[in-house]
Amino acid sequence: MNLQNGSSDDHRYSLELSDEELKRYRWMATTAVESEGEMWHAAGLQAGARVVEIGCGPGAILRELAQIVGESGIAVGVDADPLAVSMAQQELRGFDHADVRLGLAAKSGLVPESFDVVMCRHVLAHNRKDEGERILAHLVSRLVPGGCLYLADVDYDAFRYSHSEPDLNDLEEHYIKFQRARGSNLSVGLQLGDLLRANGLEVERYICGGPVQQLPLGVRFPGWAAREAMMAEGFATPSDIERWNAAFVRQEALGQGPLFFPLGLCIAFGRRV
């Protein structure tokens, strides 16, 4: 395993962390609490539970999980990116029952059968299909009997926004091509139920779609955070980036973000019986 620079042969995450990205993650976390709260509870997230978030990024969701399980519970975050780990540690400061560690999703170093809930959000889409299968097998083995594996991921092509900026559609098209060329499984949202079943879990919920949301001002699309990686791999030029930025600036000058229709946001959880 090579974890230098937050990457391994199997993990080449492309979205660069920044204050702007942190804002996007916090917005996603607030939205998830509102729209998924009932499912989190049904999956076993309650005071005293032991939960791990695999691929926790800068810790916005993990902070919510730590609040729910409280001091009688345990909240652990794992990520392969050292910058994400240090941002998550900062986000979780003051939570003595929380811990954030560097590790790979398919080789976390966590003790087998030690969590009531294993959560994994927006990670599988950034990995190849075969790596996703390894990740799932590993995560299931960390669950206690009766515990739940909770997955949230995308069918990326199904996302829609209300803006009328051709350059923002162009950014999305470049981003999708770039991710597909890397082998990222951008349609994994459609496979979540099969992945849970293939690993012996009983699927208790499987939904796609969610409430329409207004993007807060200053929150840009994931592809924007991948612009440097897209340039490095020949999927964007400096003039593309200027065009995309100008389109965001025009959009932001309207004083409100576009509506986001999360048709491709899929959530599933399965229980180990």
For ligand SAM, which residue of 68, 84, 196, 201 counts as binding (CB under 6 A)?
A: 84
For ligand SAM, which residue of 21, 36, 64, 79 counts as binding (CB under 6 A)?
A: 79
Position 61 contacts ligand SAM (CB under 6 A): yes
Binding region for ligand SAM (CB under 6 A) out of 118-126, 141-149, 202-210, 245-253: 118-126
Q: Which is nearer to ligand SAM, 192 or 243 (CB)?
A: 192
Contacts (Cβ under 8 Å, ≥6 apart) of 125: 153, 154, 156, 179, 184, 185, 186, 188, 189
Query: Where is 192: in which H helix or E strand?
Result: helix 192-198
Binding region for ligand SAM (CB under 6 A) out of 39-47, 93-101, 119-127, 136-144: 119-127
Helix (H, G, I), strand (E, B) or coil at 36: helix
Q: Which is nearer to ligand SAM, 28 or 195 (CB)?
A: 28
For ligand SAM, which residue of 39, 45, 49, 60 counts as binding (CB under 6 A)?
A: 60
Question: Residue 271's Cα: distance from chain center in Å?
Answer: 21
Nearest to 142 by CA among 171, 109, 170, 175: 109
Position 171 contacts ligand SAM (CB under 6 A): no
- The CA distance from 122 to 24, in Å, is 13
Nearest to 113 by CA among 89, 88, 142, 136: 142
Q: Which is nearer to ligand SAM, 79 or 116 (CB)?
A: 79
For ligand SAM, which residue of 126, 138, 227, 271 counts as binding (CB under 6 A)?
A: 126
Q: Which is nearer to ligand SAM, 115 or 243 (CB)?
A: 115
Position 28 contacts ligand SAM (CB under 6 A): yes
Position 115 contacts ligand SAM (CB under 6 A): no
Give bridge partners of residue 187 from the DSSP assignment. none
Provide DSSP, 41-96: HHTT-STT-EEEEET-TTSHHHHHHHHHH-TTSEEEEEES-HHHHHHHHHHTTT-T
Binding region for ligand SAM (CB under 6 A) out of 76-84, 205-213, 234-242, 247-255: 76-84
For ligand SAM, which residue of 104, 117, 143, 196 counts as binding (CB under 6 A)?
A: 104
For CA atoms 236, 27, 159, 247, the dihedral sign is negative
Position 80 contacts ligand SAM (CB under 6 A): yes
To ligand SAM, the closest distance from the beta carbon of 242 in angstroms equals 25
- The CA distance from 27 to 235, in Å, is 28
For ligand SAM, which residue of 127, 187, 191, 213 counts as binding (CB under 6 A)?
A: 127
Position 121 contacts ligand SAM (CB under 6 A): yes
Position 25 contacts ligand SAM (CB under 6 A): yes
User: Do 10 and 131 touch, CB atoms closer than 8 A?
Assistant: yes
Amino acid of residue 74: I
Contact set with ligand SAM (CB under 6 A): 10-11, 13, 25, 28, 55-57, 60-61, 79-81, 84, 104-105, 121-123, 126-127
